[in-house]
Every structure is written in C-alpha cells, then in structure tokens.
Amino acid sequence: EQIKKGNYDHFMQKEIHEQPHSLTTTMRGRLKDNSVVLGGLKEHLKTIRHSRRIIFIGCGTSYNAALAARPLFEELSGIPVTMELASDLQDRQGPIYREDTAVFVSQSGETADTLLALEYAFANGALCVGVTNTVGSTIARKTHCGIHINAGCEIGVASTKAYTSQIVAMAMMALAIGADRISTQARRQSIVDDLSNLPNKVSEVLKLDGEMRDLAESLIDTQSLLVFGRGYNYATALEGALKVKEVALMHSEGMLAGEMKHGPLALVDETLPIIVIATRDACFSKQQSVIQQLHARKGRLIIMCSEGDASSVRPVESCKVIEVPRVADCLQPVINVIPLQLLAYHLTVLRGFDVDQPRNLAKSVTTQ
C-alpha cells in the first residue's frame, strides 16, 4: 500500500496532488484543432442538440461536479438544464420524457441510486448518457453513449481528482454540443485555450498547500464552517463543505450566497468561520457586497479571490485571503476547489481522523 502512495502519507493527499496529471489524461486526444472530439458521443450529438431538456443526475461529489458544469451547458447549448439528486428523482418519480437527455454522472459507475435512476429514465425513453471514471462499469454499459473521464483509479473515499476531471469532461461535452453555433465560436475558442493551460494553473494553485495547512491549524477547534459561493462557484461551496464534512468530521455547509439574507445571515457572529468565494466573474461585484454585509455583522471571514485582488476584496487588513490563479470563468471551479480539498485534508490530519476511510462512509454505495 505504501508503494502505491508513493511519497505521500495518504491516498487523498496523493490524488489531490495528482490533478495536473489526471486533468491532462482527461483531455488527452480530445482537444483537436481548437475543437473538441469525444468519440463516445459523436453519433448522438444531433439527438442531444434537439432534446427539450438536459437532466443531470448523480449523488454526492458527482452531483456537485454536474452543478459546476451546468451554467456552461446552458450557455453553449441553449437547452434548459435541470439537476437531480438520484435518490430524490426516485422518491418523486419525477417526469422524464423521450425528448429528454439524461446525463448520469458517477465516478464508480456503480452507485445504486444513480443506477436505479438510469433504469427509470431509460424505461421512459430518454437518451441516457454516462459520465464515469470506470470503464466497463454498470452505468457505462447501460447508457446509450457517454464519456470516460480517464482520471485514473481513485482510492481515497473522498473524491478529489475525479471531481475536477468530471467538470473538465462535462465542459468538453458542452463545447461539443455547442460546436454548431457560430455565435459562440470566440467564446468556445477561449475556453479550449484555457483548457490546454489548465494543468499548469492547477500546479500553481497546489502551491497553496502550506498556506492551507496553516489555515487548517487556525480552524482545528471550530464547531462549524460555512462556505458561500454563487454562479459557477455555487458548486465549489457545496463541494468544499462536503469534503470538510466527509473527512474532517466537522459540521460544514455550502450555501448559495444569493440566499444569504434569507436565513444564513442569522448565524453570523465573531466565531463562526465563513469562506466566501469571490474570484473574478460576472458575480464578482455581488460577492463584494456579500463580503461587506458579512463584515458589517462582524463575520469571521476567509476570502478566496483571484490573484492580485486581495486589496479589493478585503474589508480589513487582518482578513484572511486566499489568492488563486485566474482561468476562464467556467473553468474556475476546477481551480477554486483545490485549496478547499487541501484544507479538508489538513484539517483531518490535524484532528487525528482517518483520511482515506472516513467513518461510516464507503467509496461506492451499491445498496439503496
């Protein structure tokens, strides 16, 4: 086992640091002549383009990855995109039609809830697309078509490298679906350019490891942690909080910043740490005002911003700021989640819990 971990103490740590490589393999052979080629989808792109709705279905981290990809799907396809947690779709028996494209996202390709939702959507005549990390898995076999994310085997129970590869795989899928639209050509080109450079930017953000360890040290005894995000980074807030919950066994919630004044604001005081994601995108000024409102209520803020923005986001000099490299807005969730993965990892080690096998959790939940 130690041999498999290489120079790392834990699989989760190794998998976090592997991300420049895993993202490279996700994109390998798929970015050609400034466009995207996805062999597993080619024959079905027309059907997807004509669907009335795209439904993303998954559980846990895979659901969050789909949520991160959703805005780009909406933008490039022009098709309404809805989100379903697999168990909830089952509980409600929500309507699914022949004109729908249902995208099943699952690292393992074996999660029981997702599999049952697949059988249900299939029986209702939807085009079923799989996004998995496991060649030959049940979801890969039972869908009409799909893509493998090729992140390599993930061992840590808490998903890290699969999450970022899922986002990139789905971004490529959105680019392929939107490839017939002239109006978005320049936008697609700039995303493809940033995709090629993404592994380098991920290497850069991994240099925050020591800083995240120090931050973890300052948070080691707190009861609870909130993460506020919106737009592309609503998913980052959910996923960052999920990591902290799963492995560091600390209460943590990811919240939509736009909902702050509809409840969460009541929780704000000098003790509760709140991470606010405020990297540059169309929501930046809204996040600046969220920071002001939290500061006015004496919130204990930790702000994530784009490189060089510390002084424009920080309400007071003493406020902790995490500066991350800037990439295309739709790819920024790949960068932003990494400091949060590192934070969850270090919090877990410092609190003395099992990183790779958190209590009560399984890598793949194959029963309902």
Note the residues at the interface with ligand G6P (CB under 6 A).
Answer: 59-62, 106-108, 111, 114, 157-159, 361, 363-365
Residue 228 phi/psi, 5-degree rounding, is -105, 125
Q: Of 30 and 161, which has the nearer Cβ to ligand G6P? A: 161
Q: Of 220 and 361, which has the nearer Cβ to ligand G6P? A: 361
Q: Are 356 and 11 in contact (CB under 8 A)?
A: yes
Q: Of 195 and 247, which has the nearer Cβ to ligand G6P? A: 247
Tell me the closest approach of the beta carbon of residue 280 to ligand G6P, in angstroms.
29
Tell me the closest approach of the beta carbon of residue 134 to ligand G6P, in angstroms.
8
Tell me the closest approach of the beta carbon of residue 163 to ligand G6P, in angstroms.
8
Tell me the closest approach of the beta carbon of residue 11 to ligand G6P, in angstroms.
13
Q: Of 15 and 281, which has the nearer Cβ to ligand G6P? A: 15
Q: Of 129 and 291, which has the nearer Cβ to ligand G6P? A: 129
Q: Of 293 and 357, which has the nearer Cβ to ligand G6P? A: 357
Tell me the closest approach of the beta carbon of residue 68 to ligand G6P, in angstroms.
13
Q: Name the E strands within the chain.
A: 31-32, 35-36, 53-58, 81-85, 100-106, 127-132, 145-148, 224-229, 251-256, 273-278, 300-306, 320-324
Query: Angle CA(271)–CA(307)–CA(294) in degrees, nearest 5?
Result: 25
Q: What angle, 0 to 180 degrees and rounded to 10, lies between the N-to-C axes of helices 19-27 and 185-205?
A: 150
Tell me the closest approach of the beta carbon of residue 215 to ligand G6P, in angstroms.
23
Q: Tell me the C-alpha distance between 102 and 93, whole Å.
A: 14
DSSP state of 43: G
Closest residue to ligand G6P in the complex (CB):
60
Beta bridge partners of 276: 228, 303
Q: Which is it for strands 273-278 and 31-32: parallel, antiparallel or unpaired?
A: unpaired
Tell me the closest approach of the beta carbon of residue 359 to ligand G6P, in angstroms.
12
In a 13 Å sphere around the CA of 96, the CA atoms on its Cβ side amount to: 30
Q: Of 107 and 164, which has the nearer Cβ to ligand G6P? A: 107
Tell me the closest approach of the beta carbon of residue 109 to ligand G6P, in angstroms.
7
DSSP H or E run through 244:
helix 234-248
Q: Which is it for strands 35-36 and 31-32: parallel, antiparallel or unpaired?
A: antiparallel
Q: Of 122 and 284, which has the nearer Cβ to ligand G6P? A: 122
Query: Angle CA(302)–CA(283)–CA(184) in degrees, nearest 5?
Result: 135
